[in-house]
Amino acid sequence: MMRQVCSAPGKIILFGEHFVVYNSRAILCAIDKRVEVTAQRRRNNTISIKSNMLSASIRPSTPHMVVDKRTRPFYYIAQSLGMADVEINIRSSLPSGAGLGSSSACCVATAGAVLPLSGMNRSILDVSIEAERTIQPSSSGADCAVCTHGGLIEYAIGTPPRQLDTPIPSDLKLIVANSGVNHNTGEMVARVRHVYKKYPKKFTILSKKADSLTSLAMDSINDIPKLGYLAASNQLLLEKIGISNNTLRQMIRIADRHSYGSKITGSGGGGCIVAITDDTNAHSTLMALSDAGYDSFVARITRTGAST
Ligand code: MEV
């Protein structure tokens, strides 16, 4: 085989970001914005990585840790799968640095495209988590799990992702609004680690609360107002671990006037919020956030994970 294409969805974390790194459970869903990766064999003893933002050609003998962070995970995938001459083309409809899983979706789609060419018998999820950890050593793997499997999943480190088996209510509408402030997941995870180290007992209590919210939410998927209430409760925990700021708080105030509840989604510091709505308040929530100048959209949950 000379050429393989794989696409993977972006994601929203509905419950449990950050706490999932400390073994709490999280709920994530895949959304209908995807990245597509094409991997093609070349006979030039080079691993090439191209996207609309970058272009790099790297000798396969280069240790992955010295490769630029923007291309390192993709280079790592090719190199670790023994692909000494391959060109990887990435096309994404996901904003990067916004908490919508752009980096994980790219890792998953790259693993899905390169694995069949390599002939190696490894799972897309394992390879993509390994790749993500080359830039994010403490990554929980939650983002790669939902980008691989699609749908709505419960995730905890060390256990296989659990797909929600009941149908997702058709009137559940997730409104995503982007603060426009870029964030760096590594920095936000490090900030939370600092809080964890400084206040371990307090952090453990918050983490247990986050885990209970996840469990309640998993049992309340059909009760949209309750899901909103739980999301707002989750936001209070995220405020306490220092990943919020004035812009995000302002967005949440706007969203909460119309929706059932809203929260930061992803690592915070910038990026996006998600508001839980149904057919009765989706439009007003979307308009309020858009009118306030935030790029906003209705995210549809997709069942399609990594797909070749
Ligand atoms: C980032 O999208 C999610 C975090 O929980 C980090 C992780 O799970 O590795 C902040």
Note the pLDDT tens digit of each residue in 16-70: 999 999 999 999 999 999 999 999 999 889 999 999 889 999 999 999 999 999 9
**CA torsion, points 127, 305, 96, 197, in degrees to nearest 10?**
-60
Q: Find the helix or strand (DSSP H, E) in which 237 lies.
A: helix 224-240
Query: Cα 132 from chain centroid?
Result: 11
- How far, in Å, is the centroid of ligand 1 from the Cα of 267? 6
> Is pLDDT above 90 for 165?
no
Whole-angstrom CA distances from 63 to 49, 75, 80, 90, 136 are 16, 10, 10, 22, 17
Average pLDDT over residues 275-288: 98
> What does the buried/exposed string (b/e) look like for 27-58 if buried means 16 or more CB atoms within 10 Å of the residue's CB?
bbbbbebbbbbbbbeeeeebbbbbbeeeebeb
> Is pLDDT above 80 for 1?
no
What SS3 class is residue 29?
strand
Position 96 confidence tier, pLDDT thresholds 50, 70, 90: confident
- How far, in Å, is the centroid of ligand 1 from the Cα of 17? 5
Say what the pLDDT of residue 299 is.
96
pLDDT averaged over every residue in the chain: 96
Q: Find the helix or strand (DSSP H, E) in which 283 lies.
A: helix 282-291
Average pLDDT over residues 139-155: 97
Average pLDDT over residues 66-80: 97
Mutate to test the pocket of ligand 1, among 18, 106, 187, 238 (most ligand atoms within 8 A of CB): 18
CA-derived radius of gyration, the chain: 19
Note the pLDDT tens digit of each residue in 221-280: 999 999 999 999 999 999 999 999 999 999 999 999 999 999 999 999 999 999 999 999
> Is pLDDT above 90 for 166?
no
The pTM of this model reads 0.96
Q: How is residue 77 annotated by DSSP?
A: H
Ligand 1 atom with the smallest distance to the CA of 18 is 5
Ligand 1 binding residues, C-beta < 6 A: 13, 17-18, 20-21, 99, 139-140, 142-143, 185, 189, 266-267
Cα 107 to Cα 187: distance, rounded to the nearest angstrom: 20
Say what the pLDDT of residue 129 is.
98
Say what the pLDDT of residue 35 is.
97
Q: Find the helix or strand (DSSP H, E) in which 47 lies.
A: strand 47-50
What SS3 class is residue 173?
strand
